[in-house]
Chain A
Amino acid sequence: MSNDVKDYSAFDAMPTDYLRTLLSLDIRATSGVELDPDAIIHILEVIQSRETGDGSAEAVDIAAAWKNFNEKYRPQESEDEGPAPICVQPQSRKHTRLKRVCITLAAVIALAIGSQAVASASGFDLWGAVIQWANETFGLESHYTYEDSSVPRSGPICEDLQDMLNLDGITEPLVPTWLPNGFTQEICEKNSTPQMSSYQATYKNSDREITIQIFAYPDDMGATHTYEKLPEGHTTYTVAGIMHSITVNTDGSVAALWNNNTCECSILANVTETEMKQIIDSIYRG
């Protein structure tokens, strides 16, 4: 991920179904998989080439699509939307229902174990994806805020993570006070449902990235389930009596996961294991 010269040839030997799964994971915001656009293009071209070769490619009428784009989609100077209805009160209502489980944990684990070697070769954090998928399995998705993220965004959109936790009265030490040099906050956001609040901050340094996620549950909802699903090969690092599970990918990216009371926390980062431990240490430095 941090190499200047990117080699995507590892994808060339992967089964088509696996490549499709990778792309699907990449699309899902909560999967933890984030392929760079060139990798996506490379994978799509590999799939396209294979489907063209075996005759399974669906026909695409580009001329018709282009005509359709110009006639129906291309923005015009004055677009007639018809009369504007009356607006009463600009507020929204949030429902209280948990999203139902739709991904089985067995499938997630099978994918993780069966594909770990290939995934490592391609340089992305599959375990991170597993963690996120598992989170999703337990209903941690937040679908309640509207935002227009169609355009790739840059720059912080709110204040820092600690401020948000302070504001919500979360007093446990959860946020690192130290990050390796050069990382600056790109994203900091919160989503809430009656079941939990999720806080996420992403820091970037060139193409290196650190993402911190915190899921805060009400007191009567435990958050220890993710420990049951840790892959083999993870190490543990205990600070202030709290066990942190750490796994290192071959590309140097590192994932850490831990619970503190009713908060479930993770850090996914392009840092060394030593730096990850320093980041963890800084959480409890006071």
Chain B
Amino acid sequence: MTSKKDKSDALIVELYPRAYPLLLRYATLEAENRAVAEELVQEAFVVACEHPDKFLASDNPTGWLITTLRNLIRNYKRHKAQWAEIFAPDEIDNAAALSDTDISGIKTMYAGIVPDEDLDLIIAVELCGYTYSDEGDRLGITAEACRKRLKRAEKNFEGNFKNFSNFCPESDSSIHSIKGGSNHVE
């Protein structure tokens, strides 16, 4: 007997060749670069994999993917803005242009809130614009595993940040003077 998961997977196989170019064109409109757009499209298919009931229940699966992708793009942009506001509020509209020195300063500023490798991951993805795939390659794990690791790291960061901020008043924050530059991570 074919499970819903199998049916959903079969539908993804069928839709992917036609839907992918359309979805990519859509994501490219608002994503900051092509790599991010490609990743957002892949994530839309991941959501379909993870929610076979909802995906199969739609009488317009390509439309469902479009709606899902729209939500992913919105979440992505909101999420990036939130992290930019934490790390570099003076460069919130241009966080991807931070220099190596700026990034080092941010890492120093927020060191100890979470393990260094987690902070590196958060900064690389949320501030510097690297994809899960990029960071997954660096860490030797899949993009999906990287996404889960990042989510966990961010949750811990949020939890610990309040304690940290008690020792680091906003008025004394050196990161407010950060200026633009390249976007590479050490």
Q: Is B98 an interface residue (CB 8 A)?
A: no
- Contact among A23, A85, A96 for B114, CB-based, below 8 A: A85
Distance of A220 Cα from B109 Cα, bound (Å) = 34
Instruction: Tell whether A74 is near chain B: CB-to-CB under 8 Å.
Output: yes
Contacts A90-B159, A151-B54: A24 and B170 contacting too (C-beta < 8 A)? no
The residues of A that contact B67 with a CB separation of less than 8 Å are 37, 152
Least CB separation from B50: chain A residue: A75
A149 at the interface (CB under 8 A from B): yes
Whether the pair B29, A69 counts as a contact (CB closer than 8 A) is no
B114: chain A residues at CB < 8 Å are 85
* B145:A79 contact, CB within 8 angstroms: yes
B162 CB, nearest partner CB in chain A, Å: 5
Bound together, the chains give a CA A144 to CA B85 distance in angstroms of 10
Tell me which of A60-68, A174-182, A252-260 binds B.
Answer: A60-68
Contact with A along B148-186 (1 / 0, CB 8 A): 110011011011111101000010000000000000000
**CB of A285 closer than 8 Å to a CB of B:** no
Interface of A, secondary structure class, is loop
Cβ of B72: which chain A residues have Cβ within 8 Å of it? 150
Known: A27-B70, A73-B42, A74-B49. A81 touches B21 (CB 8 A): no
Closest to B25 in A: A44
For residue B60, give the distance in angstroms from its CB to the closest CB of chain A.
Answer: 6
Contact with B along A192-215 (1 / 0, CB 8 A): 000000000000000000000000
Bound complex: CA A112 to CA B68 (Å) = 28
Q: List 22 A–B pairs whose Cβ atoms lie within 8 Å, in order of A's numbering.
A: A20-B29, A24-B29, A27-B73, A36-B63, A37-B60, A37-B66, A62-B20, A65-B24, A65-B41, A69-B16, A69-B45, A74-B46, A75-B46, A86-B156, A91-B158, A92-B161, A95-B170, A144-B82, A151-B68, A152-B54, A152-B67, A152-B71
Interface residues of A (CB under 8 A from B): 20, 23-24, 26-29, 36-38, 40-41, 44-45, 47-48, 58, 60, 62, 65-66, 68-69, 71-76, 79-82, 84-93, 95-97, 99-100, 102, 141, 143-144, 146-152
**Besides A79-B145, A81-B149, 4 other CB < 8 A contacts?**
A80-B141, A81-B148, A89-B162, A152-B67
